């Protein structure tokens, strides 16, 4: 996607003045928060930090998609189903038009975006300086993977399903812990619980979160959608 030399006006206006009802600027805030948390050094890293980082990216992705859809509808004067383009934003899922605030499925939001692009990309190509055909084809696969992983938009926020993947501490044994504490091994953390008779009850060790693969997908999807959103605001909303 083409980059622009300076921040558009939307970054300096209240939410009530936003062309997209404020979805994009809040998405920027969540994305920036995720990037800054990921930038922490190993010494600054806190236990289970992958969960809030992943959630921040996941929420930024949802908000970016909603912003992009709203800007496209309003710029291209596409009605929100039964309502005009200037009306309350709706998303079409199957045959129904649902208020955008009630839709959290990122794959469904992306399908709506793709449908608009399929019908209007030629118009956008001729009326703007952005190459809309340069959107990464991998984006659809990333969003499908995210949706498969977190269908209810709750995985990174609550305990429950998938808990074995979420926490940084895993069940272990003394033998396993000692095997990872050689002179050439990196520093590690472990927690060992003893009985009143000094017998080992449980042993746990800290390891890199198993969420790293999905967190990388979330980061890449948020980065691509941030660029699309930025182009939409600059090209189609006058920077508003």
**Bigger pLDDT: 38 vs 42:** 38
Rounded to the nearest integer, the mean pLDDT of the chain is 90
Residue 143's pLDDT is 97
Q: Is the pLDDT of residue 108 over 90?
A: yes
Low-confidence winner among 88-92, 123-127, 139-143, 187-191 (lowest mean pLDDT): 187-191
Q: Is the pLDDT of residue 29 over 90?
A: yes
Low-confidence winner among 66-80, 92-106, 138-152, 193-207 (lowest mean pLDDT): 193-207
- Over residues 98-115, mean pLDDT: 96
DSSP result, the chain = ----SS--GGGGS-GGG-TTTTHHHHHHHHHHHHHHHHT--TTT--TTTHHHHHHHHHHHHHHHHHHHHHHHHHHHT--BTTB-TTSS-EEEETTEEEEGGG---HHHHHHHHHHHHHHHHHHHHHHSSS-GGGS-THHHHHHHHHHHH-TTS-TTTSSSTTHHHH-SEEE--HHHHHHT-STTSPP--EEEEE-TTS-EEEEEEE---TTHHHHHHHHHHHHHHHHHHHHHHHHHSTT-
pLDDT band at 220 (very low <50, low <70, confident <90, very high): very high
Low-confidence winner among 1-5, 88-92, 132-136 (lowest mean pLDDT): 1-5
pTM of the model: 0.88
Task: List, for residues 130-181, the tens digit of each pLDDT value.
Answer: 999 999 999 999 999 999 999 888 999 999 888 888 888 888 888 888 888 8
């Amino acid at each position: 996607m083409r980059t622009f030399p300076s921040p558009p006006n939307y970054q300096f206006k209240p939410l009530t003045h936003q062309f997209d009802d404020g979805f994009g600027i809040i998405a920027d805030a969540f994305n920036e928060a995720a990037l800054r948390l990921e930038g922490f050094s190993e010494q600054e890293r806190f236990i289970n930090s992958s969960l809030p980082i992943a959630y921040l990216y996941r929420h930024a992705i949802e908000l970016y998609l909603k912003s992009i859809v709203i800007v496209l509808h309003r710029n291209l004067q596409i009605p929100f189903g039964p309502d005009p383009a200037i009306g309350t934003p709706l998303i079409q899922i199957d045959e129904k038009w649902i208020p955008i605030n009630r839709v959290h499925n990122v794959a469904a939001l992306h399908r709506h975006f793709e449908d608009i692009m399929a019908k209007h990309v030629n118009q956008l190509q001729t009326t703007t300086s952005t190459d809309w055909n340069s959107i990464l084809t991998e984006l659809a696969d990333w969003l499908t993977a995210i949706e498969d992983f977190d269908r209810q938009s709750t995985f990174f926020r609550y305990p429950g399903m998938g808990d074995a993947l979420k926490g940084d501490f895993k069940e272990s044994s003394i033998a396993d812990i000692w095997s990872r504490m050689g002179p050439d091994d990196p520093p590690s953390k472990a927690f060992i619980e003893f009985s009143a008779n000094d017998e080992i009850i449980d042993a746990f060790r800290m390891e890199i979160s198993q969420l790293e693969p999905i967190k990388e997908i979330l980061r890449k999807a948020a980065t691509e959608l941030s660029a699309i959103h930025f182009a939409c605001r600059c090209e189609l909303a006058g920077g508003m």
